């Protein structure tokens, strides 16, 4: 399961992710759609641990990935 609560991510003065909330259950199929520049890739990078959100919480299989250090993230 993937849970995200109140995710935000900005680049300079551009707020790309603004309070994103989602719950994805095991086996569930999800599409992320939106206009160019809407933050789809940024969301996937944050959920895939390639980038950290500025704020908010992410849990993957009941593990709070916000608390993992860089080494733990690379092994995750």
Q: How far is CA 38 from CA 8, 17, 41, 48, 73, in A?
A: 13, 8, 9, 18, 26
pLDDT at position 40 is 96
More confident residue, 76 or 28: 28
Per CATH, the homologous superfamily of domain 2-75 is: P-loop containing nucleotide triphosphate hydrolases (3.40.50.300)
Residue 75: pLDDT band by 50, 70, 90 thresholds? confident
pLDDT at position 72 is 87
pLDDT at position 76 is 80
Express each pLDDT in 29-71 by its tens digit: 999 999 998 999 999 999 998 999 999 999 999 999 999 998 8
């Amino acid at each position: 399961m993937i849970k995200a609560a109140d995710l935000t991510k900005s680049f300079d003065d551009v707020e790309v992710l603004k309070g994103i909330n989602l719950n994805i259950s095991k086996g569930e199929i999800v599409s992320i759609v939106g206009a160019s520049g809407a933050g789809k890739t940024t969301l996937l990078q944050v959920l895939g641990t390639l980038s950290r959100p500025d704020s908010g919480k992410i849990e993957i299989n009941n593990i709070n990935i916000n608390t993992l250090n860089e080494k733990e993230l690379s092994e995750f």
